[in-house]
């Protein structure tokens, strides 16, 4: 949830330069007006004064992406992206209302000062208004999503990239990419029922639609209108559902170790068996069934720490989530026809030894989407981001650089 309401403002002729464009100083003034208007709608314009502090701008960075003219109406969305003891960072995204064109993105660092100009701790009432501290380091952001609260890692600044994990993993499957990718905003939730996210009690709390709607709640909470969505395996199936339900929230696609087809009748029976194993014997027993096919032979032989991490991730799933996810995957539709209609920059990555979503399936999937690139990561199985983190991160970085 963002503390600040979205505000729409009209650009006046006197805001514009000799060529009729909204000028730089006027944009800053509009952003300031949007902040005051949002305060007026929320806790009151005197929020800072009545707490004896003033929010002084320490640093502002602005990226302009399209011109705006007199009489245009712009929508300013404001998210709290960082909060320190005495400071806070707000990100404004500005869109032209008539056609939704992104116009500018500004990041502004404020420091709370007292009447003598000294930095002073953000007062309690303002802390409450700003909401939970966005994740710094490894403290996850808590995001309300329908009937649950999700744990979300949010790191870095720039183009939003939403990482969606697979089954039975959690957000730490992306730990190398979260740590190393620069100049993008890495957003990695635990799915409902997994890791730090709350679990609905019944298996019917899980469906691809629910997972996809949760991703929208995550994007809303971090103030991202859209994102590059990077889905691993089941995370890919969820990404397809996101494309079906909320296509406007996806800016580009990264599909890792995943496939477009629905399950065969035999695969569906296998899901039902796995759900029974999970219900009767829990995550360890389920993982023993899956493990032989999850990792490349080279990983099994030489990277025991990867196997250990996979076991640890599986243990962070609640039993209803294991069962519910198996049913959601069993019932997923075929996405082949839908992907044929996708017109987004797309990167497909697959491990050379992926036994669950093999390279041939990945290549066929990439061919459905005009212009999609497909790369095979050597010596990786179904978990390329964990088994070959550097090779995977390099592919991601090269692709993301083409989008900035
Ligand atoms: C996953 O990694 O998410 C699962 O292996 C996907 C599947 O079982 O189809």
Does residue 234 have its Cβ closer than 6 Å to ligand 1? yes
Establish whether residue 325 lines the binding site of ligand 1, counting it when its CB lies within 6 angstroms of any ligand atom.
no
- Indicate whether 380 pLDDT > 60: yes
Q: Which atom of ligand 1 is nearest to the CA of 357?
A: 9
Q: How many CA atoms are closer than 13 Å to the CA of 233, on its beta-carbon side?
A: 23
Tell me: pLDDT of 1 over 60.
Answer: no
For the record, the structure tokens of 21 come out as 């464009």
- Interatomic CA distance for residues 347 and 335, integer angstroms: 16
- Distance (Å) from CA 315 to ligand 1 centroid: 16
Residue 137, pLDDT above cutoff 70: no
- Of ligand 1's atoms, which has the minimum distance to the CA of residue 165? 3
Mean pLDDT of the chain: 93
Q: Which atom of ligand 1 is nearest to the CA of 326?
A: 8
Q: Which atom of ligand 1 is nearest to the CA of 383?
A: 2
Cα angle for residues 174, 194, 329 (degrees, 5° grid): 85
Q: Is the pLDDT of residue 135 over 60?
A: no
Per-residue pLDDT at 287: 96
Distances from the Cα of 123 to the Cα of 17, 44, 80, 86, angstroms: 39, 15, 16, 9
Is 356 close to ligand 1, i.e. is its CB under 6 Å away?
yes
Looking at residue 156, its pLDDT comes to 84
Enter the tokens of residue 109: 């660092």
Q: Is 317 in the pocket of ligand 1 (CB under 6 A)?
A: no
Q: Evaluate if residue 180 carries a pLDDT over 80.
A: no
Mean pLDDT of 240-252: 98
**Cβ of 167 below 6 Å from ligand 1:** yes
pLDDT of residue 202: 67
Please state the length of the chain.
404
Indicate whether residue 323 lines ligand 1 (CB < 6 A): no
CB 373 within 8 A of CB 292: no
pLDDT tens profile 16-38: 999 999 999 999 999 999 999 99
For residue 345, pLDDT beyond 70: yes
Beta-strand pair 102-113/54-64: antiparallel
Which one of 163, 164, 165, 167 would you pick to mutate in the ligand 1 pocket, going by the greatest count of ligand atoms within 8 A of its CB? 167
What is the C-alpha separation between 195 and 211, in angstroms, rounded? 15
Q: Which phi and psi angles does 80 have, rounded to 5°?
A: -85, 115
Neighbouring-strand partners of residue 194:
317
- Of 103, 101, 89, which Cα lies nearest the Cα of 27? 103
Contact 13, 70 (CB under 8 A): yes
Q: Does ligand 1 have an atom closer than 6 angstroms to the CB of 4?
A: no
Report, as an integer, the average pLDDT of 308-332. Answer: 95
3-state secondary structure of 43: coil
Alpha carbon of 329 to ligand 1 centroid (Å): 8
Asked if residue 200 has its Cβ within 6 Å of ligand 1, the reply is: no
Residue 351 CB-density burial (10 A; 0-12 exposed, 13-18 middle, 19+ buried): buried
In the numeric block, the tokens 């987004």 are attached to 344
Two tokens, residue 116: 């003598």
Nearest alpha carbon, ligand 1 atom 5: 167
Q: Give the pLDDT of residue 79.
A: 85
Question: Is the pLDDT at 397 greater than 70, yes or no?
Answer: yes
pLDDT at 138 over 70: no
Evaluate if residue 351 carries a pLDDT over 60: yes
Per-residue pLDDT of 83-127, as tens digits, reads 888 899 998 888 888 877 778 888 899 999 999 999 899 999 999
Q: Is 17 helix (H, G, I), strand (E, B) or coil?
A: coil
pLDDT digits (tens, 9 = 90+) for 253-289: 999 999 999 999 999 999 999 999 999 999 999 999 9
Q: Which tens digit of pLDDT belongs to each residue from 287-297? A: 999 999 999 99
H/E element holding 374? strand 373-377
Q: Which residue has the tokens 């609905």?
A: 200
Residue to mutate (ligand 1; options 164, 165, 166, 351; most atoms within 8 A of CB)? 166
Q: What percent of the chain has pLDDT over 70?
A: 98
The CA-atom distances, in angstroms, between 105 and each of 19, 94, 108, 161 are: 22, 6, 10, 16
- Give the pLDDT mean for 159-170: 98
* Closest-CA residue to 159 (of 213, 97, 113, 228): 228
Distance CA 111, CA 122 (A): 8
Instruction: Record the tokens describing residue 152, joined without a space.
Output: 């979300």
pLDDT at 134 over 90: no
Q: Is 326 in the pocket of ligand 1 (CB under 6 A)?
A: no
CA–CA dist 129, 146 (Å, integer): 21
Q: Residue 58: is its pLDDT beyond 60?
A: yes
Cα(276) to centroid of ligand 1, in Å? 17
**Atom of ligand 1 minimally distant from the CA of 271:** 8
Give the Å distance between the CA of 218 and the centre of ligand 1: 22
CA of 234 to the centre of ligand 1 (A): 5
Specify the pTM: 0.69
pLDDT of res. 44: 94
Once rounded to an integer, what is the mean pLDDT over residues 311-334? Answer: 96
Q: Cα separation of 191 and 214, whole Å?
A: 8
Distance CA 165, CA 295 (A): 16
Mean pLDDT throughout 11-18?
94
**Measured between alpha carbons, how far is 383 from 357 in angstroms, rounded to an integer?**
10
Ligand 1 pocket mutation pick from 310, 382, 384 by most atoms within 8 angstroms of CB: 382
Contact criterion met (CB below 8 Å) for 304 and 386: no
Is residue 329 lining ligand 1, measured as CB closer than 6 Å?
Answer: yes
Q: Alpha-carbon distance 308 to 32, whole Å?
A: 50
Q: What is the pLDDT of residues 201-227, one digit of tens each?
A: 766 799 999 999 999 999 999 999 999
- Is the pLDDT at 189 greater than 50? The verdict is yes
133 C-alpha vs ligand 1 centroid, how far in Å?
A: 33
How large is the average pLDDT for residues 125-139? 75
Compute the distance from residue 192 Cα to the ligand 1 centre, in Å.
16
Residue 173 near ligand 1, beta carbon < 6 Å: no
Classify residue 259 as left (phi > 0), alpha (psi -120 to 50) or beta: beta
Question: In which band, very low, low, confident or very high, does the pLDDT at 360 lie, cut at 50, 70 and 90?
Answer: very high
* pLDDT beyond 90 at 57: yes
Tell the residue number behind the tokens 């995370």, with chain if given: 235
Asked if 386 and 306 touch (Cβ cutoff 8 Å), the reply is yes
pLDDT of residue 96: 87
């Amino acid at each position: 949830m963002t503390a600040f309401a979205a505000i729409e403002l009209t650009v006046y002729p006197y805001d514009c330069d000799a060529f009729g464009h909204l000028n730089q100083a006027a944009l800053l003034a509009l952003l300031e007006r949007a902040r005051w208007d949002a305060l007026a709608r929320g806790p009151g314009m005197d929020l800072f004064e009545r707490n004896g502090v003033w929010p002084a701008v320490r640093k502002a960075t602005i990226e302009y992406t399209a011109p705006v003219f007199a009489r245009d109406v712009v929508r300013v969305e404001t998210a709290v992206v960082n909060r320190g003891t005495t400071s806070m960072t707000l990100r404004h995204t500005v869109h032209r209302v008539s056609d939704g064109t992104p116009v500018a993105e500004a990041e502004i660092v404020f420091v709370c000062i007292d009447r003598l100009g000294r930095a002073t701790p953000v007062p309690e009432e303002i802390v409450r208004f700003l909401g939970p501290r966005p994740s710094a380091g490894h403290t996850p952001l808590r995001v309300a999503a329908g009937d649950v609260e999700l744990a979300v890692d949010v790191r870095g600044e720039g183009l939003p990239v939403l990482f969606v994990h697979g089954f039975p993993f959690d957000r730490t499957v992306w730990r190398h990419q979260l740590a190393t990718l620069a100049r993008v905003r890495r957003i990695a939730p635990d799915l409902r029922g997994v890791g730090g996210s709350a679990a609905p009690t019944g298996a019917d709390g899980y469906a691809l639609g629910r997972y996809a709607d949760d991703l929208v709640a995550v994007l809303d909470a971090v103030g991202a209108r859209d994102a590059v969505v990077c889905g691993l395996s089941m995370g890919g199936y969820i990404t397809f559902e996101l494309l079906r339900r909320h296509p406007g929230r996806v800016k580009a696609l990264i599909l890792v170790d995943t496939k477009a087809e629905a399950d065969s009748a035999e695969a569906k029976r296998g899901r039902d068996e796995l759900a029974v194993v999970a219900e009767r014997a829990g995550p360890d027993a389920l993982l023993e069934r899956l493990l032989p096919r999850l990792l490349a032979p080279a990983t099994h032989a030489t990277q025991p720490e990867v196997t250990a991490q996979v076991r640890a991730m599986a243990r962070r799933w609640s039993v209803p989530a294991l069962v519910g996810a198996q049913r959601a995957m069993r019932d997923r539709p075929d996405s082949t026809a839908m992907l044929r209609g996708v017109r987004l920059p797309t990167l497909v990555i697959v491990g050379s030894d992926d036994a669950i979503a093999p390279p041939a399936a990945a290549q066929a999937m990439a061919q459905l989407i005009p212009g999609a690139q497909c790369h095979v990561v050597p010596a990786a199985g179904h978990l390329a981001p964990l088994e070959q983190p550097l090779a995977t991160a390099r592919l991601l970085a090269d692709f993301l650089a083409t989008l900035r």
